[in-house]
Structure 1
């Protein structure tokens, strides 16, 4: 087995730091999800192990302050907005459940003490996003989309808070089950085509949920999901997001993390998997969806997160000079294990 191509850590570090300051014009369409971009960039620095020693305390403070500037409070509780374009002056000062999840993780990476967090307000906000069918919307009272992305974010927030009292867990689990397809994957909504991303969200949510009256996944359901995910790996080593589609580096994370959660990670070719990610590196920094494509913060973070799960499992001779070594990664909540430990020790309400 040949050594993997080098991981251009310094170039990817520079790319993430630059993207925190300015995005290229080609990515102007993602400005409305600025909180997610911040998460991808800070997360990239965290995965590469450089967040504390290759950024200054002043930079980290400015990023923490910017995130807290997006913290909003109102009749439906408290949470984080996608960015400053949603301001009180515009009349759109409503928190967004996905951006709240990414904000909590970003602040944990930055080792914030969460002294400004209103825990009860956050629980009230999450509850206000749940719909009568068990699903969750982006914003309170059925605002925006209602799909598995929001449900996973709600479950992650409740898990980090250590408090599930504000939501109807069993109706949410029933909604997840309604999104399962005959293939074993999960669609974004009931009757939708199975996709790698939503399959990860469903499987992670089922494993984050507190124990219920019966197993969250039956043996047969688990086996079908494993089969569909394993057969989503392309001959190139990459993962397809949908049956019959081309492989995409972000689906290496979605599919690879779902298999990690199911303890079925040994059923795929980890070397080819990591080799595909290595081939997605862009010469000027960042990683792309496929070899030869331009990079973006979304694919950069998810590609490195995928590598963090699988590259350390390879022999040292295959990894090559330790370039593909990563700290332990938590596939359920999508961050380094030490970041999740920090979150779990600082986000829950203090108990005296």
Structure 2
């Protein structure tokens, strides 16, 4: 049996189906509806197949999830006027008395803006002033962010979301960058990677299931990609490796570089942390970090490509591990994203720090 090739047609069929109607086993992810849409739309965009969707219709659908203040003074009420992740988080249950219901969330807002950028919507048309002014109130004294106005855990995931939101809106009034930078630097571990919070174990990945619903379980979550991408978006990391290695005012770049390169294992794939199996999505999370700091050329690209191609499903899409059976939309999107970083023929270039195709910027 020869080595597998890139099954582009199968992937197009997979993402086209996902963009049309999600399978029933995604029902439990209804609260993440907007982000599931981001994965489906993002996959089609990387495959250069956006003509399969109605861009104006998608833009209207995404915009319908934004929460707007009823009056101007509501912006100072403490609520966050971003985007909700689904209809169930947008509207209160009929049997729940909640006069201040507002389910907007930093991660859902990131997904919404990313989708709007992908379909070419002009973000100057949205109410960014209310969004950014209310988002700034989510930033904590230590520089971290809460994802929602009613309180939740604070960690690097939401610092990244805030930075990505400000970057896409081209307006940094929504956060204090210096405070955010200080928080990020405090999260770098002794081994060079980043934990979710200061003092925690280094991890490169960030499972979006965990990100969206604000959960951080042992196998998911993480900090390194969020830390590095946020620092780059905020202007604190350069685009070439030599400049980064000589910058003593930022993170310990040499330790970070070594930690990331050590994540590529014998099968060519990348692990998210020490003593873990390689996984499709980490080809993006680790590869993305190395791309941002100007060191992507140091990986074994051929071995990584071979690993990723063994994770392709015969149904289209990608599985978590090689020959693992049924694909899921999360690993499928990041499998394509990782191959885009490897400049796979037939895929659009990726803006790695924002997770969307470069042409959308």
RMSD (CA atoms)? 2.2
Does 1:306 find its partner at 2:338?
A: yes
TM-aligned CA deviation for residue 145 of structure 1: 2.7
Q: Per the alignment, do residues 43 and 132 of structure 1 end up closer, same or farther by CA in structure 2, a change over 3 Å counting?
A: same
- Structure 1 distance, partners of 2:110, 2:126, is 13
Is contact 2:195-2:224 (8 Å) kept?
yes
Is contact 2:15-2:44 (8 Å) kept?
yes
Could you say which residue in structure 2 is the equivalent of 1:262? Answer: 293
Please list, as runs of the form range in 1=range in 2, the aligned pairs for 1:1-352 lying within 5 A after superposition: 5-52=4-51, 55-56=52-53, 59-74=54-69, 75=74, 76-90=79-93, 91=98, 92-114=101-123, 116-140=125-149, 143-197=151-205, 198-210=223-235, 218=249, 221-293=252-324, 294-312=326-344, 324-340=345-361
Q: How many residues align?
A: 321
- Structure 1 distance, partners of 2:47, 2:89, is 31
- Structure 2 distance, partners of 1:182, 1:86, is 39
Is contact 1:274-1:311 (8 Å) kept?
no
TM-aligned CA deviation for residue 144 of structure 1: 2.4
Is contact 1:149-1:201 (8 Å) kept?
yes
TM-aligned CA deviation for residue 210 of structure 1: 3.7
Residues 248-288 of structure 1 show CA distances to partners (whole Å, capped at 9, x for unaligned) of 11111000010001111121100111111111111112111
- Structure 1 distance, partners of 2:236, 2:302, is 35
Is contact 1:232-1:240 (8 Å) kept?
yes
Q: Per the alignment, do residues 237 and 159 of structure 1 end up closer, same or farther by CA in structure 2, a change over 3 Å counting?
A: same
Q: Per the alignment, do residues 136 and 120 of structure 1 end up closer, same or farther by CA in structure 2, a change over 3 Å counting?
A: same
TM-score by length of 2: 0.83
**SS across alignment from 1:333:** coil
Residues 153-179 of structure 1 show CA distances to partners (whole Å, capped at 9, x for unaligned) of 101111222222332211111111111
Q: Per the alignment, do residues 87 and 185 of structure 1 end up closer, same or farther by CA in structure 2, a change over 3 Å counting?
A: same
TM-score by length of 1: 0.85
Q: Per the alignment, do residues 119 and 282 of structure 1 end up closer, same or farther by CA in structure 2, a change over 3 Å counting?
A: same
- Normalized per residue, the structure richer in strand is 1
TM-aligned CA deviation for residue 35 of structure 1: 1.1
Q: Per the alignment, do residues 17 and 217 of structure 1 end up closer, same or farther by CA in structure 2, a change over 3 Å counting?
A: farther
Is contact 1:271-1:311 (8 Å) kept?
no
Relative to structure 2, which stretch is displaced further, 280-289 or 62-71? 62-71
